[in-house]
Chains A and B, each alone.
Chain A
Amino acid sequence: MAITRDSQMHKRRLSRNIGLGFVLIAFAGMVFGLTIAKVSVLDPARLEAEQAGEAPAMPFETAPLAPQEPAASPEASQ
């Protein structure tokens, strides 16, 4: 019996290699995502801003971390 390109052995090995490839790519993505998540949680400036209600609690959203200048009141401008 000749081993052809389409033999079961090749199919199984291909599935194994593709599967492992996906697992490794997923792992790299997970570690990257975890890094981003950890950095956003551990960033003290961001934490302070979040506690002061000046930055969104959800990650991956940009918000100014520096305290905002209070808007000039209408009375002050008159």
Chain B
Amino acid sequence: MSDLSLMEYEKDAGFGDYFALLKPRVMSLVVFTALVGLVVAPGTVHPFIAFFAILCVAIGGGASGALNMWYDSDIDAVMKRTAARPIPSGRIERGEALSLGLALSGFSCAMLGLATNWVAAGLLAFTIFFYAVIYTMWLKRWTPQNIVIGGAAGAFPPMIGWAAATGGISVESVLMFMLTFMWTPPHFWALALFMNSDYDAAGVPMLTVTHGRRVTRKHILAYTLALAPFALAILLTSIAGPVYAFVAVVMNLLFIKGAVQIYRRSEAQAEADKYAVERKFFRFSLFYLFLHFSALMIDALLRGYDLIGTGVFGGLLGGTF
């Protein structure tokens, strides 16, 4: 055996490398929001079927992550943050990632369809398609609005959870989608403001680079203001309760306050305190989404024990499409 071929063997992938292709950190948000969508939905689902459905959603999310890593391996190799991923580091072949992504996509959708219903499976298939094709192949390298439209892929899981329980789409599930969809841009643009990313070197148009930081700050404020009505509109549905009402009012006020602070700051001010406000806003945005969905889950549990009624305002909005 030559030294060269031995080096090839030294790059053999371990199990963890294949798991890393599934982007487990992204998966955690997907699992959590899908679980909330399933728990707050009316009706009961067998606990094992519910667990299996969430697992399918997680595997589907992982599959789209593998497809993303397959397609983006060229730009991952250029950027420092992603250079150690399994494909650019040479531990996994591109074709392997593609095969794994396609196989898990088909598997997760088919199993979700068999376990629950085909509306949920169809939504999962569309989510994978949206992330892998619409976002990764098309929008990401083409427009600085990539984050906005691509955010839809991360917003579908609560709708899938809801569909798994009810077999349909409703006002409540669309509003949960909108909550995550509108939250994504301010969350990522706040990160883009203080992260010295090398997206530019990789040829990925990010708003901070293409339109400047001033415009990015304006966009953060605009999207944060646009997000609040959707978060508060959930109060009009049957899934909201007193816990959600408290969280939504307080968190949206604080989020808007943070966005206004970001908007008012100049680059000189931000550099002087090493982007302290932007970092704080980014951390807060994580809490924002987590607390909104947690509050919905707590209200659903309280409702399950008949401790609270249906909706804060009796569920004015609602209905299955």
Closest-CB distance, B128 to chain A (whole angstroms)? 19
Do residues A16 and B48 form an inter-chain contact, with CB atoms below 8 A? no
Do residues B55 and A30 form an inter-chain contact, with CB atoms below 8 A? yes
Q: Which of A9, A57, A59 contacts B48 (CB 8 A)?
A: A59
Which residues of B does A touch, CB under 8 Å?
A: 1, 3, 6, 9-10, 12-16, 18-19, 44, 46-49, 52, 55, 114-115
Closest-CB distance, A6 to chain B (whole angstroms)? 14
Do residues B52 and A34 form an inter-chain contact, with CB atoms below 8 A? yes
Q: Which of A9, A33, A37, A57 contacts B9 (CB 8 A)?
A: A9
By a CB distance below 8 angstroms, the chain B residues around A20 are: 15
The 4 closest A-B pairs by CB, nearest first: A19-B15, A12-B14, A37-B48, A15-B14
Do residues B49 and A41 form an inter-chain contact, with CB atoms below 8 A? yes
Residue A18 interfacial (CB < 8 Å): yes
Bits for A30-50, please: 1 = Cβ < 8 Å to B, else 0.
100110111011000000000
Closest-CB distance, B308 to chain A (whole angstroms)? 22
By a CB distance below 8 angstroms, the chain B residues around A36 are: 48
CB interface residues, A 6-30, toward B, < 8 Å: 8-9, 11-13, 15-16, 18-20, 30
By a CB distance below 8 angstroms, the chain B residues around A1 are: 3, 6
Closest-CB distance, B237 to chain A (whole angstroms)? 26
Do residues A34 and B115 form an inter-chain contact, with CB atoms below 8 A? yes
By a CB distance below 8 angstroms, the chain B residues around A41 are: 46, 49
Whether A12 touches B12, Cβ cut-off 8 Å, given contacts A1-B6, A3-B1, A3-B6, is yes
Q: B-side binding surface: helix, strand, loop or mixed? A: helix
Count of inter-chain pairs, beta carbons less than 8 A? 53
Do residues B49 and A38 form an inter-chain contact, with CB atoms below 8 A? yes
Do residues B15 and A16 form an inter-chain contact, with CB atoms below 8 A? yes
Do residues A15 and B15 form an inter-chain contact, with CB atoms below 8 A? yes
Cα–Cα distance between A18 and B19 once the two chains are bound (Å): 13
Closest-CB distance, A37 to chain B (whole angstroms)? 4
By a CB distance below 8 angstroms, the chain B residues around A40 are: 46
Q: Return the chain A residue nearest B8 by Cβ.
A: A9
Cα–Cα distance between A14 and B169 once the two chains are bound (Å): 45
Cα–Cα distance between A12 and B114 once the two chains are bound (Å): 35
Do residues A30 and B52 form an inter-chain contact, with CB atoms below 8 A? yes
Q: In the complex, which of the residues A8, A12, A15, A18 has the most CB atoms of chain B within 10 Å of its own CB atom?
A: A12
16 contacts between A and B (CB under 8 A): A9-B9, A9-B12, A11-B14, A12-B13, A15-B16, A16-B13, A16-B15, A18-B15, A19-B16, A30-B55, A33-B52, A34-B52, A40-B46, A41-B46, A59-B46, A59-B47
Q: Which of A8, A12, A19, A37 contacts B49 (CB 8 A)?
A: A37
By a CB distance below 8 angstroms, the chain A residues around B47 are: 58-59
Whether A34 touches B13, Cβ cut-off 8 Å, given contacts A1-B6, A3-B1, is no
By a CB distance below 8 angstroms, the chain A residues around B114 are: 34
Cα–Cα distance between A33 and B48 once the two chains are bound (Å): 7
CB interface residues, A 34-74, toward B, < 8 Å: 34, 36-38, 40-41, 57-59
Closest-CB distance, A67 to chain B (whole angstroms)? 23
Do residues B18 and A16 form an inter-chain contact, with CB atoms below 8 A? yes
Cα–Cα distance between A1 and B10 once the two chains are bound (Å): 12
Whether A9 touches B14, Cβ cut-off 8 Å, given contacts A3-B1, A34-B52, A38-B49, is no
By a CB distance below 8 angstroms, the chain B residues around A37 are: 46, 48-49, 52
Q: Return the chain A residue nearest B16 by Cβ.
A: A15
By a CB distance below 8 angstroms, the chain A residues around B19 are: 19
Do residues A34 and B14 form an inter-chain contact, with CB atoms below 8 A? no
Do residues B46 and A13 form an inter-chain contact, with CB atoms below 8 A? no
Q: Return the chain B residue nearest A17 by Cβ.
A: B15
Whether A34 touches B15, Cβ cut-off 8 Å, given contacts A8-B10, A9-B9, is no
By a CB distance below 8 angstroms, the chain B residues around A9 are: 9-10, 12
